[in-house]
């Protein structure tokens, strides 16, 4: 990786350690289970507030999932776990709501209220989304909720109400396989297609209308992605061999490969966050 990190450093997490790798944007990545499908076992998503990072996940030895730190439990009655565990957790731009996707375990977008001290509401507002398999979460520049749907291989935009309800604005397919993750760099959204080894770029208008820009190839097993805080670089985690691909993000959403780094112990990894 051009100007890349000197190497990974582990710090304690729940189960296997997270790895923090200093680079233009430091990031945390988590070893889990992945393949050409969007799999999830143990902790697979992180969200940050006030420079803290907290994972969400399920134990491989339990039938319950939860948000570590808040001790919120989500019942996981079905197998295989990779389609029924929580997909991702994210705070709203205001920090007053916490969004959790449930994938095929209900096909729901759950929205918790966040009170003083970070305390969550006793129960979420449950927004049913048919058979879309809502997986990953982002927000566009206008603050619309963006969901990557693994069941339909599409991105969808929503308004997020103060009461926790979500209303669909637009949905646009990638034309690729296993669209599981989404991240924003500047004004462009990038959907990771685990089954196609690429990312799909989108613009989202001020009203939340989506336009597909095209695809950029990555290493095998494309999973999560994150951007530098200024949006100038996109870091794409590829779980096949534990590689993180680095791209510079140009005008119009174009991506230029800068390099890549292999993270020790991250083969099969899922989950990356920048700070």
Per-residue pLDDT reduced to its tens digit, 75-128: 556 566 667 788 888 999 999 999 999 999 899 999 999 998 889 999 999 999
Provide the b/e sequence for 16-41 (b: ≥16 CB within 10 Å). Answer: eebbbbebbbebbbbbbbbebebbbb
3 occurs within a structural domain: no
Write the DSSP symbol of residue 16.
S
Which candidate, 41, 45, 62, 66, places its Cα nearest to that of 54? 45
Question: How remote is the C-alpha of 203 from its chain's centroid?
Answer: 18
**Cβ neighbours of residue 50 closer than 8 Å, sequence gap 6 or more:** none
Q: What is the pTM of this model?
A: 0.79
Domain count, the chain: 1
pLDDT the model gives residue 47: 59
Q: How far apart are CA 68 and CA 242, in angstroms?
A: 24
β-sheet bridge partners, residue 137: 147
229 occurs within a structural domain: yes
pLDDT the model gives residue 235: 96
pLDDT the model gives residue 84: 76
4 occurs within a structural domain: no
**Low-confidence residues of the chain: pLDDT under 70:** 1-82
**Cβ neighbours of residue 18 closer than 8 Å, sequence gap 6 or more:** 10, 11, 12, 28, 29, 30, 46, 53, 55
Q: What is the CATH number of the domain that holds 216?
A: 2.130.10.10
pLDDT the model gives residue 53: 44
Q: Label the pairing between strands 52-58 and 210-217.
A: unpaired
1 occurs within a structural domain: no
pLDDT the model gives residue 271: 80
> What are the tokens at 244?
């993180």
2 occurs within a structural domain: no
Domain span including residue 85: 9-274
């Amino acid at each position: 990786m051009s100007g890349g990190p000197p190497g990974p450093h582990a710090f304690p997490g729940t189960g296997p350690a997270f790895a923090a790798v200093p680079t233009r944007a430091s990031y945390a990545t988590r070893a889990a289970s992945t393949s050409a499908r969007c799999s999830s076992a143990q902790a697979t998503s992180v969200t940050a507030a006030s420079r803290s990072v907290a994972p969400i996940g399920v134990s491989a030895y339990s039938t319950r999932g939860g948000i570590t730190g808040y001790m919120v439990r989500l019942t996981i009655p079905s197998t295989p776990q990779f389609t029924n565990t929580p997909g991702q957790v994210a705070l709203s731009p205001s920090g007053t709501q916490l969004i959790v996707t449930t994938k095929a375990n209900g096909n729901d977008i759950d929205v918790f209220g966040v009170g003083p001290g970070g305390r969550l509401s006793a129960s979420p507002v449950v927004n049913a989304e048919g058979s879309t398999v809502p997986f990953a979460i982002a927000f566009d520049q206008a603050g619309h909720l963006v969901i990557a749907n693994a069941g339909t291989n599409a991105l969808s935009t929503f308004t997020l109400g103060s009461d926790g309800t979500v209303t669909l604005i637009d949905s646009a397919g990638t034309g690729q396989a296993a669209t599981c993750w989404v991240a924003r760099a500047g004004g462009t959204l990038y959907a990771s297609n685990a089954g196609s080894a690429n990312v799909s770029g989108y613009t989202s208008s001020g009203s939340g209308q989506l336009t597909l820009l095209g695809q950029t190839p990555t290493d095998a097993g494309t999973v999560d992605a994150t951007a530098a805080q200024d949006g100038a670089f996109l870091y794409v985690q590829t779980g096949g061999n534990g590689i993180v691909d680095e791209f510079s993000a140009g005008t119009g959403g174009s991506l230029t490969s800068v390099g890549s780094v292999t993270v020790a112990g991250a083969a099969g990894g899922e989950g990356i966050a920048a700070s």
